[in-house]
Each structure stands twice: as C-alpha cells, then as structure tokens.
Structure 1
Amino acid sequence: MFGAFDEQVRTRLSELQSIAQSGGLDEAVEAMVTSIRNGGVLQAFGTGHSQAFAMEIAGRAGGLIPTHAIALRDTVLQGDRPASDLKGGLLERDTNIADELWELHEFHPEDVFLIASNSGVNGSIVGIALRAKQEGHTVIAVTSLEHTNAVTPKHPSGKRLAEIADVVIDNLAPFGDATVPVGDGGILAGAVSSITAAYIAQLLTLGTAARIQEAGETPPLYLSANIPGGDEHNDALKARYGERIGSMA
C-alpha cells in the first residue's frame, strides 16, 4: 500500500517537473515576476486543504517576500464574524464571502492572485477569482482539471475557477483526490492534491526567483527566522511592503 502511494506521488511530481522544465509554468512565472518588479504582491488563496498551497507561497523560508495569504479566518480575526462561523465548511461555499474578504485587505493594481482549489467550484474560491478579475488582476489557478470538469459549479455565475483564471495549472489530482484502494467497495485513501499543489508552489517560487536572478537582480527571498540574521534580513525587505504582507501566527 505504501509503495502504491509512493508511485502515485512520484509519477505526478515527475510529470510536474517535466511540465516546468518544458516551459509549462512560464506564463505564470512571468506574471509573478512582472508583479514583483512593479511593486506588486502575490496574493495567495485557498480553502480547506488547499490552504497548504497558500502557506507554501506566502511567508515561509525560501519563499518570496512580496507575498500574502488570504484566509477565510480573516473574517473572524480581522472582521466581525463570530468564531463559530468557522465551524464546518459553510464559509468556503459562501458565494458572498469574497466581497467581505476583499474589504479586509489592501490590494494594489499590480498584485497577482494565485488561487488553489482541487474542485475549483466552491463559492468562496470562484467569488475571489471573479472579484480579482473584475478589479483587473491577473489570476493564476491551481486546480484538478479532471475533478473540476466532472462536477457542477456551485457559484451563481455557473463558472469554475479554471474558466475564470488567466493561467491554469493542473495539479494532476484524480477525481476524488484519493489514489490507493483500501479493501473492497471502491474506498480509496492517499490523497495527492495537497502534495502536488505544494510542489507547484515551490516550482513557481523557484522559477520566479531564477528569472529575477538571471536579470541581474537579487530575488527577495525569506531566510529562515531560525538562523542567525534571519529576522534582520527578512524585516528589512518586509518593510518595503508594510501591512500589505502582514501575517498572523
């Protein structure tokens, strides 16, 4: 069973590496580089397990400093919703939550939105993508094309994330996400979307940093806060963006 899962993961990561190597991520990387050069911030959003993608993009060691993660919990921590609203999965399906989230953050025209959703159909995901496009932002989607094309959109627009985004990156997860049969009855375990999405996030970060380096510039990357000088290095670069990249524990 473990070997079967290893094969499922390795095969997908190898395919993603080949896609990146052959230029399949170049359009997304170019949008990210342009945003950073113009003083923009890379805005990352995901709900459920797709929050892992946003965490890989924003605010981690080895990651790009001009990044910011948007999260549903912002409506409680920075807005006026009660904490009880975070229970269950109602908020991620809420078609009106996008406008509420939008008012809690400072977005500039140069910002690019990176939105991850395996299904690509929940109300909050589609709502943020639509609002970003309405405001003139470039949207990069990370989604399972196999899954999203097999399910019905839940947003009143009738749109899927992949149908809104300027750039679509397939996370290569299968319909239902899980990959390894467990006993009889069609029950599967071994979900892969969080793993492949995190890998995509790192490929995009590497590609962006390399493109900036090749142009003779220094990529604005975080050092680990747990090494000497890390905080000083990070704080000096973070100061350029202020609250636009503000983060919480």
Structure 2
Amino acid sequence: MLALEWLKNAHAAMDRIEATQLENIKKAATLMADSIEAGRWVHTFGCGHATIPVEEMYPRIGSFVGFHPLCEMPLTFFTQIIGQMGIHQFLFLEREEGYGVEIMKNYDFVPQDTMWIFSHTGINAVNIDMALEAQKRGMKVIVFGSAGASAGKTTRHSCGKTLFEIADVVVDSCVPLEDASVPLKHHYDKVGPLSTLGFVTMVWMTITTVAEILESRGVKLHIHPSHNIPGDTTARERLDEAISEYKKRVKVL
C-alpha cells in the first residue's frame, strides 16, 4: 500500500531531523529568542509551498507574538494554476533576480531582527535576494531546507552562492532533493512529497525551543490561545492581549 510507503518515508525524514538537527535548531532558536526578547521580529519568508510553514506559525493556536510573515501574493497564491497569477508567472518571479530587493524596501528592518527563510533547494534568486538584503541590514539569516541533498546545485543568482552558503544558520529538512518519495510502476515521476512535512516538523521543534529559551529568561510570551474550549472564560481576553502586542510591534515596520 503506497500510503504506508509515504508514511514510512515521512517517519524516516523526521527521525533524521531528530538525529542530526537538534543542535542547529537550538542555534536558530537562540537567535530568534534574542530578537523577540528585544521587542523585535523574526521575519519569515518562503515561495510557493515553502510559504506553508510561514502561514502555519502565526497567527496560530499555540504560537506566540514575534513571528512576522512576509507573504508576497504572487509568490504565495498560485492555486489558480493558469491565467492570472498562474504557475508560469510564479516560476518566473521566484527566479527573477532583484524582486527580493524590491520586497525588502517595503519594511523598516533593524539589526536586532532575524530573517527566517524556507527553501527546499536554496537556488532561486528571490530567496537569495532576501537573505543578502537582510544581511546588509545587519540581520542574522536562518535557512531551513534540503541543504545536504542540494549540495552541488548551481545557484540561479549572480552572487554565485546558494541560500545555504549565505545563511548564518542552516537547518536541514533531511528530505530528498526530488521531494516526491513514492515511485509508481508505470510513471517516471514519483508522488508523495515530503518537504512540507519536514518544514512544519522543524517549525514546531524550533518555536517550542524559542518558547523554552524565552521562558527561562523570564520573558512573557503573548500566546495565541484556543478560543474553542468550553469553560475557558478568559480565552478572548488573552487573544485580545496577544493581538494588541502584535499591533504594537508591527507599528515599527
């Protein structure tokens, strides 16, 4: 049953993350905790399906204020497939050098911020633009992706480097470069990608570590609560408090 083969592959990827990436996750989480403790942001960015981990982390029940999504609609919403904002336009834009530079002009970043980028292959120009521009502003850059499997891939950016070569901290998703993991008997291409599962697994391993670090430092977390639990009479109050804190911080952007 191919469902079980995909599940086996998914478990294997998560096991590799656990076995090899805990130290790097702790390094990344420490930089993020420093930004949030300073009252600043961890800015999050990805293209295509690499925006799914960005959208997963905040606003989200069980996450907390400090993560700021940079979601560009033409790089995010491409589910129309054809026509306006279709796949062809998306593929062009994510490979177009200079687009990320223009995105970064829209915000006021400071060196206390952290840039967190998701990219499976690490070769596309817009992600590299974002990383280089972040570093020019004194920010630390954290990259999550299939770093080991992407070794030797040629960058699509004139800087001559991949995203993994630029980053201050890299966390490897431990996913195969082709992403899809389940072969079919009569087709060349496999089905059953793993990168989203790898990204989301690492997101929550990282964010829980950030929470652990901040709590150990005595920092109050503005957690997004569940407001669906019977008998929890203060959930809306806690939600309003979290949103107020987010609003206060976002004014500086």
Conserved? CA contact 2:222–2:245, under 8 Å? no
- Counterpart of 2:214, as a letter, is I
SS at match of 1:44: strand
SS at match of 1:240: helix
SS at match of 2:180: coil
Map residues 1-249 of structure 1 onto 2, 5 A cutoff: 1-19=2-20, 22-73=22-73, 84=84, 88-89=89-90, 90-184=92-186, 186-226=188-228, 229-242=234-247, 245=250
Superposition deviation, residue 67 in structure 1: 1.2
Conserved? CA contact 1:121–1:155, under 8 Å? yes
Cα separation, partners in 2 of 1:106 and 1:143, compared to 1, 3 Å: same
TM-score, normalised via structure 2 length: 0.85
Aligned residues, how many?
A: 240
1-structure distance, mates of 2:205, 2:76: 32
2-structure distance, mates of 1:28, 1:112: 10
Identity value in percent: 25
- Counterpart of 1:10, as a letter, is H
Conserved? CA contact 1:72–1:92, under 8 Å? no
- Counterpart of 1:50, as a letter, is A
Worse-matched range after superposition: 23-32 or 44-53: 23-32
Cα separation, partners in 2 of 1:42 and 1:148, compared to 1, 3 Å: same
2-structure distance, mates of 1:48, 1:76: 5
Worse-matched range after superposition: 92-101 or 65-74: 65-74
TM-score, normalised via structure 1 length: 0.86
2-structure distance, mates of 1:230, 1:159: 47
Structure 1, unpaired ranges of 5+: 78-82
The CA deviation string for residues 63-98 of structure 1, in whole angstroms up to 9 with x for no partner, is 121111112218999xxxxx9466532221121111
The CA deviation string for residues 152-210 of structure 1, in whole angstroms up to 9 with x for no partner, is 11011121110111000001110211111111454211110111001101111100111
- Counterpart of 1:3, as a letter, is L
The CA deviation string for residues 23-77 of structure 1, in whole angstroms up to 9 with x for no partner, is 3411111101111111111100000110012112332111121111112218999
Cα separation, partners in 2 of 1:86 and 1:134, compared to 1, 3 Å: farther
2-structure distance, mates of 1:14, 1:57: 22
Conserved? CA contact 2:181–2:193, under 8 Å? yes
2-structure distance, mates of 1:2, 1:105: 43
SS at match of 2:142: strand
Conserved? CA contact 2:49–2:76, under 8 Å? no
SS at match of 1:162: helix
- Counterpart of 1:94, as a letter, is E
Conserved? CA contact 2:222–2:241, under 8 Å? no
Conserved? CA contact 2:47–2:75, under 8 Å? no
